[in-house]
A = this chain, B = another copy of it.
Amino acid sequence: MAADPRQAPATPPQDDPARELPQDELAALDAHWRAANYLSVGQIYLMANPLLTEPLRPEHVKPRLLGHWGTSPGLNLVHTHLNRVIRARDLDAVCVWGPGHGGPAVLANSWLEGSYTEVYPDVTRDAAGMALLFRQFSFPGGVPSHVAPQTPGSIHEGGELGYALSHAYGAAFDNPGLLVTCVIGDGEAETGPLAASWHSNKFLDPVNDGAVLPILHLNGYKIANPAVLARLPEAELDALLRGYGHEPLHVTGDDPEAVHRAMAHALDTALDRIAALQDAARTGGATDRPRWPMIVLRTPKGWTGPAEVDGLPVEGTWRAHQVPLSGVREDPEHLRLLEGWLRSYRPEELFDEYGAPRAAVRALLPEGRRRLGANPHANGGLLLRSLPLPPLERHAVPVDKPGSSLHEPTRVLGALLSDVMEATAGRRDFRLVGPDETASNRLEAVYARTGKAWQAETLGTDEHLDRHGRVMEILSEHTCQGWLEGYLLTGRHGLFSCYEAFAHIVDSMVNQHVKWLRTTRGLPWRAPVASLNYLLTSHVWRQDHNGFSHQDPGFVDHVLNKSPEAVRVYLPPDANTLLAVADHVLRSRDYVNVVVAGKQPCFDWLSPEQARAHCARGAGLWEWAGTEDGTRAPDVVLACAGDVPTQEVLAAAQLLRRHLPSLAVRVVNVVDLARLLPAEEHPHGMSDFEYDGLFTTDRPVIFAYHGYPWLIHRLAYRRAGHPHLHVRGYKEIGTTTTPFDMVVGNDMDRYRLVMDVIDRVPGLAVRAAAVRRTMEDARLRHHAWIREHGTDLPEVADWTWDG
């Protein structure tokens, strides 16, 4: 046992004698815990002799020892105790395993309760299945060492740390009957995303949402260091957790029996309190913010493992983090220690001669869908209903003629979302999340149907705060993302609206979510979930208030590096195309969809029917905007993707029509960026036949793109016409200035595009030299005007399409 002086005796069961744990339950808890520990160690080490029916020999041990033992006994303890209360109270519960490196633990528990065999029939609940369970772990072609999509009952990949608690809250929202337990490791607790997510309890509605029970597991160490929270005096930690709005229950110890008693008591106390708080809000009409209980569980890292190896303490220290005995195949002493460790769990008491868990181990297991590995909320696609979406025509803006009216696209989208909010008022399976930007992003029509979730104090001057609201705003992109992921993975729908530049804050989170989706596509038992939809607005070209720090269009680049089967990027150029794209992404499954759209007034280019057809194609020719006559190939293709580039391209087309009327100009608009990829690289990729037909193979293509120009090259470099492709876009020239000055600064303005055409169409340089000078003059005029007036040139500010 660890010599950690902090390991005071476990909190004794308190006064209530009814709370005394019956001896048979104690025995069953301990048997189950020992079985789970045995199976965890077995997964890390063994490839044969799973029941130790013969003395352990080197060849029974895997050649590569991979995995994380340190956190596993703690997770096993939690799972074992959750089984007891789920069964005793018939709870509908899931658990988010934050210290997900402890994959062996959750796999062991799933195998013990039978849920593992149900989805992986080869891994039977007997000796043969146990052998397979052990062998496959961290083995090539086998299963990951973490709690992962492959793990039954999981909605949370335990690799990258920080998101456990926000995932748990996401799962609890709008699931009033659900208990979401969440184990938070003391390592993970140091991360920013986790630290922020404690305040999620100010957004949890005790009436319409389920409960979240955080279990902060302090085993004291990370990879090589003590954990900060584990080294706070208990009073200081207690103050912190009360400051987070919780009532902590402390369970501390290293004596299994005492910890079992204390843990059972703490869980019962917590669940009673949760029930009372929910009852007070649901039937008692209480409206004060509940102080939800939580558990602080302090047990040694690598508990029950080797106390000392090679003369150094292991149990209770960071040395227990991964594989405590590393030389088992070579070192007889290590082999001996491993065998002793495994036998210390008394496997013969736990498994019968066929390798099946004995009745004592199974005594407290829940049944059917109540098992943590079989709860359908953790395979949320099973519960997913189609989102009721209004007909697009209801909110589409009328467009008789391109460019004759202006709308703020996101405001138009807000009306559609308002309908969705109304249609889901009873079902409560749609939420809008964002970092305090719903109104700023002009989606505030939703407030007619629902308010902003808020359980903290409300003042008379507040607006739209709503104890039962389904708009989620907190100034933490991490928390927003975590909430939404948890909500989607438990079978609901949502949209994340975010300033474009700050989507990068969740780059690493979207990585993990895409990896999750990619992996689940290979798991037939995982039902598809609703896509994670981003609306990136307040984008790079319109940061009038904020300037350079708020200018970054690179989230799209980041997402397009990920598994193509799971990512989609859309740049609708106006209000109706935004509606069409939104309709599509809100119906889709298992994708990460990134939609980039402006909130500023924007010309309406396409009618609803045109918009729908254009978005279905993803990229298309805008005949009305060009000057082709159909008798010959165009002289030049002007391509655009994004609202601001589209406006500049149309303005350039208009200038060309006026100044060079004999030039055959084709205008192509791209909504679905992946269309540019080869068909074999992305499911949306165009065939070369389509691409060449649209862009030609030999004419100059001047492409105005919303973001970093080289992204277009990266997508299109295999095309025959690539040598003729010239892309304009954002090249990190940013400041606080006017919208048109931004495009001039980045060489994407209409005048520059016309100059590009003149420079690249063979023979035009001489013939159109005067036009080129006119364009240069316009840019000079712009520079002079803006420094003087601080506004855009009237000819630009008042520009309209005259096509």
A502 contacts which chain B residues (CB < 8 A)? Answer: 160, 508
- A160 touching B501 in the complex, CB below 8 Å, given contacts A557-B557, A561-B708: yes
- A561 touching B554 in the complex, CB below 8 Å, given contacts A63-B789, A243-B237, A717-B722: yes
- The chain B residue with its CB closest to the CB of A220 is B459
Could you tell me the distance between the alpha carbons of A722 and B723 in the complex, rounded to whole angstroms?
A: 10
Interface string of A606-625 (1 = CB under 8 A from B): 00000000000000000000
Q: How large is the interface on A (under 10, 10 to 19, 20 to 34, 35 or more residues)?
A: 35 or more
A93 → chain B, closest Cβ, in Å? 25
A790 contacts which chain B residues (CB < 8 A)? Answer: 47, 62-64, 139-140
Q: Which of A475, A512, A722 has the most CB of B within 10 A?
A: A475
A695 → chain B, closest Cβ, in Å? 16
Q: Which of A3, A507, A791 has the most CB of B within 10 A?
A: A507
Interface string of A223-243 (1 = CB under 8 A from B): 111111001110011111111
Contact of A192 among B101, B195, B544 (CB under 8 A): B195
A289 → chain B, closest Cβ, in Å? 9
- A461 touching B736 in the complex, CB below 8 Å, given contacts A140-B787, A519-B548, A545-B66: no
- The chain B residue with its CB closest to the CB of A245 is B236
Contact of A196 among B195, B225, B474, B512 (CB under 8 A): B195
Interface string of A395-423 (1 = CB under 8 A from B): 00000000000000000000000000000
Could you tell me the distance between the alpha carbons of A130 and B220 in the complex, rounded to whole angstroms?
A: 57
Contact of A190 among B199, B322, B544, B713 (CB under 8 A): B199
Contacting B at CB under 8 A, from A771-803, are 786-787, 789-791
Could you tell me the distance between the alpha carbons of A62 and B5 in the complex, rounded to whole angstroms?
A: 67
Interface status of A274 (Cβ within 8 A of chain B): no
Interface string of A710-731 (1 = CB under 8 A from B): 1101100100001000000000
Interface status of A167 (Cβ within 8 A of chain B): no
Interface status of A244 (Cβ within 8 A of chain B): yes
The prevalent SS among residues of A at the interface is loop
Contacting B at CB under 8 A, from A435-451, are 436-440
- Tell me whether A159 and B547 are in contact (CB under 8 A): yes
Interface status of A563 (Cβ within 8 A of chain B): yes
Q: Which of A225, A228, A440, A460 has the most CB of B within 10 A?
A: A225
In the complex, the count of this chain's copies comes to 2
- Tell me whether B243 and A558 are in contact (CB under 8 A): no
Interface status of A539 (Cβ within 8 A of chain B): no
Flag the segment in A21-29, A142-150, A657-665 that touches B.
A142-150
Contacting B at CB under 8 A, from A265-287, are none
Contact of A224 among B68, B192, B227, B440 (CB under 8 A): B440
Interface status of A79 (Cβ within 8 A of chain B): no
A240 contacts which chain B residues (CB < 8 A)? Answer: 239-240, 242-244
- Tell me whether B191 and A437 are in contact (CB under 8 A): no
A224 contacts which chain B residues (CB < 8 A)? Answer: 436-440, 463, 473
- A544 touching B64 in the complex, CB below 8 Å, given contacts A228-B456, A459-B5, A561-B554: yes
- Tell me whether A226 and B717 are in contact (CB under 8 A): no
A11 contacts which chain B residues (CB < 8 A)? Answer: none
User: A-side interface residues toward B, CB under 8 Å?
Assistant: 3-6, 47, 62-64, 66-68, 101, 138-146, 148, 157-162, 187-188, 190-199, 202, 222-228, 231-233, 236-245, 313, 316-317, 322, 436-440, 452, 454, 456-463, 465, 473-479, 501-502, 504-505, 507-508, 511-512, 515, 518-519, 544-550, 552, 554, 557-558, 561-563, 708, 710-711, 713-714, 717, 722, 732, 734-738, 741, 786-787, 789-791
- Show 25 A/B contacts (Cβ-Cβ < 8 Å), sorted by A: A3-B461, A68-B545, A138-B545, A140-B735, A140-B787, A141-B787, A142-B736, A145-B547, A146-B547, A148-B547, A161-B475, A192-B196, A192-B478, A222-B475, A224-B439, A224-B473, A225-B452, A225-B454, A227-B475, A236-B245, A238-B243, A239-B242, A240-B240, A504-B558, A554-B561
